[in-house]
Chain A
Amino acid sequence: MTLLTVMVVDDSEADHFICNHTLKKHNSDINIIAAYDGQEALDILAAADAHPQVIFLDINMPRMNGHEFLEKYSEIYGEEKCSVVVMLTSSDQENDKEQSMAYKAVVDYFTKPLSVKAIDTLCDQNKHIYN
């Protein structure tokens, strides 16, 4: 099983490059939407017809960070059936992990760099992504 549409929210150009490469390895036809901070991600989601299957979300970002994004995102889309969120960050602080995993939408917490194996495991464990 493979992912078809994902969104990567990260302020680092280099991390986008790495993510793209890894995601393309998982599925060469994957559609990747790039956002550089929480606000931009919300703007894109608001304008889009359909939401991506998975949002890979960094924590430390300018303007609106990952935590702030999750708060807004749950506020706006809390009741709807929408994307699952996977944290993708270089922070291994327990605080960050607890705070983000508290949101219903968040299903996993990855530390950078993203690997193909992690994506596959994610797909296996979260079958509902495809529904």
Chain B
Amino acid sequence: MNPTITSQNLKTQLGTVALICVLCVTYTVFSWLGYFLVMPPGIVSVMWPSAGIALAFVYVFGSRIAAGVFLGSFLTHALRYGIPDAESFSTVLSIALGATLHAVIGGYLIRKFSSAPLHSGNLREILIFVLWGGVFACLISAVIGTFSIDRIANFSPTDFWLQLGTWWLGDTLGVIMFAPITVLFLSGASPNSGTSLRLKVMVIVPVVICIAIFAVLFDAAKKELKSHTYDEYARETASLANDFTQTLAVNITTIKATTAFLAATDKITADKFKIFTAPLLQKSKGLYGLSWLPKVDDINRGEFSQSIRDEGYPDFGIISRNSDGQLQSAPKRETYFPLAYTEPYALNKSAHGFDVYGQDGVSGDVRRSILDFAKVINKPRATSRFSIVQKQDEYGFIIYSPVFKKMETNKLEHVGYINGIFVYPDLVKSIEEKLASADSNFYLIELRGNKPPLVLYDSRTADKKEGLIESYDLKDVNYTSHSVNVAGQIWQMVFTKNGQLITGDYLRSLWFFAIGGTIFTLLLFIILTMISARNESVEKLVSLRTEELNRANEELEEFAYRTSHDLRSPIVSSVQLLNLADDAIKDNETEFASKSIAHAKQSLGKLETLISDILTLTEIGSQNESEAILDVAKAVDEALAKLDHADGFHRLKVIKEISLEGSVIIKPSRFKLILENLISNATKYQDPKKEEPFLKISCFSTGNNLHLHVSDNGLGIDPRYQKQMFEMFKRFHPKVAVGSGLGLYLMRKSAHILGGDIEYVPLEDGSLFKLVVPARLANKGDRN
């Protein structure tokens, strides 16, 4: 096993594990933002940023880190709703699986269809990203997620589609808003991404600010709509509470009026009582019955019962409950307060004759203490909740109002009570009728100091009695509450809002706001990447041009230096040589004189070559040659013919391999310059030791390129100098032939002007020059 490879593997694996952890944590952190943007009814967010984060990570780093999405999704649910129990475990796992599949398949589709990185400023790439990774791939997570939740929630078909749509839209918006920016942020972490820090800052900072503003505005809008709806709801419920308080006030007034009537009436009869109470009962909503409870001492019991029987109630007797709860004739006690008259009689018949002062039954003590208290303070007092005799299956209460009569001695004497009987369902009927239109529920509780409150009525239960204890927890519930004092009892009316505060048009406007914000963010991203990509390319171009200019400048300096030296040097030498020749002629040394002159001639010859090359060079730079038709085979023959008189040319065996049919369109004189120089070099630098020196010229075309290969078995170029061989004034075989050192430089320059390049390939024995230039084959229609 190779230890280097193993350690490399380990490094990669550690990197993957680290990335998975980072993804898991990032996913979880961004889910917080998702919950922040949660949309009523509350299970699904208007936007799920984690979907975008997951897609971006998997797109940038590959599917190998997809486990991070799975763990992140699981962790998010665990943190939000606690560790799932056995029942919901598979649901949470399938949701996590859906999120993972979205990222993997989305990432795959984007890679498959896109051809350039996201930050290249190309609109097509960004659209491919959001369509495949967002609109399409989010269907996967939405479908899997909704089906998983449906298994435990059992949605109605409408709710199912609503849930699916909301999930899909939330994930899609999350991808569109967060994925591109995350990809850009992460792209620096992978090598060769080609994003500069400036590009990142230029795009990421404004987009992040835009997202932050969106989140703040969205939250503010949500709160504003919520508070608006809540205020409306509070107004409606306040009006209901007010109506209820009014009803209670009317009822208490009725009781007080009846009390006053009894106090002022000398001889009360059933008829008088009926006539007086009938209109009052009609006006008092919720008052189940109104009764007169005279004080009857035991010695008067028989006489009293007889007087009532004489008024047309032959079965009348004072009754009370026995220990089994059965009604029977009241046992003997000092004083009785029986229901002597009760209206409406039909409703309250069963309680006729019932002695409220009896301590029997469940509520006997409660009643007696209230009766005594009311008498002491001389004010109507209400009982707590209990089952009244007349309506055993419903909760009710009674208000006792003591009746005092002025005696002749001017002393007030307690003569009995007026009682008002109430059952809660009847009392709250007016509220109950209006609850539906207020989209609300309602319950009424009696506060009892340190004891837990007593539920008097609850609109949410089937029997309208108290419900489950959890239903009175008002956390996360929209409600209003109002207190009222009912003859000494403190009641609290609580209205709880059904469903969400934000519904209908408000909900739609929030969705539009979210969609609008997302599209705006995407447009901002597109525009910013386009601008910065353009800036980047302009900058690259500028730096490229600057570099070219600097190179050209250096070349120019070198050129000026070398020409000044190379032009001056042969002249200085020639002058000296001619001086020597002059002296020699004076001394009659003709041989030395002619040697000197020969050297002078050689120096001046060099000068001439140099000047001619310099002229060619300046022409190359200034000439703007146009393209023309060139017969390559003919050009090769002409170039060979031109060098026919050069030294050593005839030693060379010339091999031609021209596989081009017809002509090409090219700048002819530049091409010819290269061709002639290559042939001339092969001639000049042939190896004199070789018995069969050769020069091979091959020419062919591939696609739109013209290839010219010139090879020989000559002296070649020492590997040490190959690097600088195309530079100015470089000569490698000074003794072999005279030259300016500009030939190869001129060739390369010409190749560049032709739009191609020339390269040197050292052969084992000799050289090969390869020229590639773009040139299209001439058609018949092309004119010279």
Interface residues of A (CB under 8 A from B): 11-15, 17-18, 21, 36-37, 59-63, 89-91, 93, 112-113
Instruction: Name the one of B561, B566, B580 contacting A18, with C-beta atoms under 8 angstroms.
Output: B580
Instruction: Name the one of B599, B729, B735 contacting A14, with C-beta atoms under 8 angstroms.
Output: B599
A90 B568 Cβ-Cβ under 8 A = yes
Instruction: Name the one of A17, A36, A91 contacting B735, with C-beta atoms under 8 angstroms.
Output: A36
Please report the C-alpha to C-alpha distance between residue A60 and residue B558 in the assembled complex, in whole angstroms: 12
Q: For residue B728, give the distance in angstroms from its CB to the closest CB of chain A.
A: 12
Q: For residue B163, give the distance in angstroms from its CB to the closest CB of chain A.
A: 80
B731 A63 Cβ-Cβ under 8 A = yes
Please report the C-alpha to C-alpha distance between residue A112 and residue B573 in the assembled complex, in whole angstroms: 8
B572 A113 Cβ-Cβ under 8 A = yes
Q: Which residues of B contact A14 (CB under 8 A)?
A: 570, 573-574, 577, 599-600, 602-603
B565 in the interface (beta carbon within 8 A): yes
Please report the C-alpha to C-alpha distance between residue A17 and residue B570 in the assembled complex, in whole angstroms: 13
Instruction: Name the one of A18, A37, A61, A91 contacting B573, with C-beta atoms under 8 angstroms.
Output: A18
Residue of B nearest to A113 (CB): B576
Residue of B nearest to A111 (CB): B572
B269 in the interface (beta carbon within 8 A): no
A36 B734 Cβ-Cβ under 8 A = yes
A93 B573 Cβ-Cβ under 8 A = no
Q: Which residues of B contact A62 (CB under 8 A)?
A: 730-734, 741
Please report the C-alpha to C-alpha distance between residue A90 and residue B568 in the assembled complex, in whole angstroms: 7
A61 B734 Cβ-Cβ under 8 A = yes
Instruction: Name the one of A17, A63, A90 contacting B572, with C-beta atoms under 8 angstroms.
Output: A90
B566 A60 Cβ-Cβ under 8 A = yes
8 A Cβ contacts from B418-432 to A: none
Q: For residue B559, give the distance in angstroms from its CB to the closest CB of chain A.
A: 13
Asked, given contacts A18-B580, A60-B565, A93-B561, whether A13 binds B731 with beta carbons under 8 Å apart, the answer is no
Asked, given contacts A60-B569, A90-B565, A90-B569, whether A18 binds B576 with beta carbons under 8 Å apart, the answer is yes
Residue of A nearest to B738 (CB): A13
Q: Which residues of B contact A12 (CB under 8 A)?
A: 569-570, 573, 603, 606
Q: Mark B552-582, 1 if CB is under 8 A from A, else 0.
A: 0000000001100110111011101100100
Q: A18-B573, A60-B729 are in contact. List 18 more A-B contacts (CB 8 A).
A: A12-B569, A12-B570, A13-B599, A13-B602, A14-B573, A14-B574, A14-B600, A17-B596, A18-B580, A18-B599, A59-B565, A60-B565, A60-B569, A63-B721, A90-B572, A90-B573, A93-B561, A113-B576
Q: For residue A115, give the distance in angstroms from its CB to the closest CB of chain B.
A: 10
Interface residues of B (CB under 8 A from A): 561-562, 565-566, 568-570, 572-574, 576-577, 580, 595-596, 599-600, 602-603, 606, 718, 721, 729-735, 741
Q: Which residues of A contact B735 (CB under 8 A)?
A: 36
Please report the C-alpha to C-alpha distance between residue A43 and residue B718 in the assembled complex, in whole angstroms: 15
Q: Which residues of B contact A37 (CB under 8 A)?
A: 734
B734 A113 Cβ-Cβ under 8 A = no
Q: Which residues of A contact B734 (CB under 8 A)?
A: 11, 36-37, 61-63
Please report the C-alpha to C-alpha distance between residue A14 and residue B579 in the assembled complex, in whole angstroms: 13
Q: For residue B736, give the distance in angstroms from its CB to the closest CB of chain A.
A: 11
Q: Which residues of A contact B606 (CB under 8 A)?
A: 12
Q: What would 5 A/B residue contacts be, using CB atoms closer than 8 Å?
A: A12-B603, A17-B599, A60-B562, A60-B565, A112-B572
Please report the C-alpha to C-alpha distance between residue A14 and residue B734 in the assembled complex, in whole angstroms: 13
Q: Which residues of A contact B718 (CB under 8 A)?
A: 63
A17 B577 Cβ-Cβ under 8 A = yes
Interface centre among A62, A89, A91 (most CB of B within 10 A): A62
Q: For residue B684, give the distance in angstroms from its CB to the closest CB of chain A.
A: 14
Q: Which residues of B contact A36 (CB under 8 A)?
A: 734-735
Residue of A nearest to B739 (CB): A62
Residue of B nearest to A91 (CB): B565
Instruction: Name the one of B566, B580, B732, B733 contacting A21, with C-beta atoms under 8 angstroms.
Output: B580
Q: For residue B572, give the distance in angstroms from its CB to the closest CB of chain A.
A: 5
B732 A63 Cβ-Cβ under 8 A = yes
Q: For residue A50, give the distance in angstroms from its CB to the closest CB of chain B.
A: 25
Q: Which residues of A contact B574 (CB under 8 A)?
A: 14
Please report the C-alpha to C-alpha distance between residue A62 and residue B602 in the assembled complex, in whole angstroms: 18
Shortest Cβ-Cβ A-B pairs, 5 listed: A62-B731, A14-B599, A113-B576, A90-B569, A62-B734
Q: Which residues of B contact A90 (CB under 8 A)?
A: 565, 568-569, 572-573
Q: For residue A38, give the distance in angstroms from its CB to the closest CB of chain B.
A: 11
A18 B732 Cβ-Cβ under 8 A = no
Q: For residue A1, give the distance in angstroms from its CB to the closest CB of chain B.
A: 25
Q: For residue A91, give the distance in angstroms from its CB to the closest CB of chain B.
A: 5
Q: For residue A74, give the distance in angstroms from its CB to the closest CB of chain B.
A: 19
Q: For residue A77, give the distance in angstroms from its CB to the closest CB of chain B.
A: 20
Q: For residue A62, give the distance in angstroms from its CB to the closest CB of chain B.
A: 3
Q: Which residues of B contact A63 (CB under 8 A)?
A: 718, 721, 731-732, 734
Please report the C-alpha to C-alpha distance between residue A113 and residue B572 in the assembled complex, in whole angstroms: 7
A113 B573 Cβ-Cβ under 8 A = yes
Asked, given contacts A62-B731, A62-B741, A90-B572, whether A18 binds B565 with beta carbons under 8 Å apart, the answer is no
Q: Which residues of A contact B577 (CB under 8 A)?
A: 14, 17-18
Please report the C-alpha to C-alpha distance between residue A93 and residue B576 in the assembled complex, in whole angstroms: 21
Q: For residue B11, give the distance in angstroms from its CB to the closest CB of chain A.
A: 42
Please report the C-alpha to C-alpha distance between residue A37 and residue B580 in the assembled complex, in whole angstroms: 25
Q: For residue A126, give the distance in angstroms from its CB to the closest CB of chain B.
A: 24
Q: Which residues of A contact B741 (CB under 8 A)?
A: 62
Please report the C-alpha to C-alpha distance between residue A46 and residue B460 in the assembled complex, in whole angstroms: 112
Residue of B nearest to A18 (CB): B576
Q: For residue A54, give the distance in angstroms from its CB to the closest CB of chain B.
A: 20
Interface centre among B566, B599, B602 (most CB of A within 10 A): B599
Q: For residue B329, give the distance in angstroms from its CB to the closest CB of chain A.
A: 139
Q: For residue B1, give the distance in angstroms from its CB to the closest CB of chain A.
A: 45
Residue of B nearest to A114 (CB): B576
Please report the C-alpha to C-alpha distance between residue A85 and residue B732 in the assembled complex, in whole angstroms: 24
Please report the C-alpha to C-alpha distance between residue A63 and residue B580 in the assembled complex, in whole angstroms: 30
Q: Which residues of B contact A91 (CB under 8 A)?
A: 565
Please report the C-alpha to C-alpha distance between residue A36 and residue B566 in the assembled complex, in whole angstroms: 16
Residue of A nearest to B721 (CB): A63
Q: For residue B558, give the distance in angstroms from its CB to the closest CB of chain A.
A: 11
Q: Which residues of A contact B733 (CB under 8 A)?
A: 62
Q: Which residues of B contact A18 (CB under 8 A)?
A: 573, 576-577, 580, 599
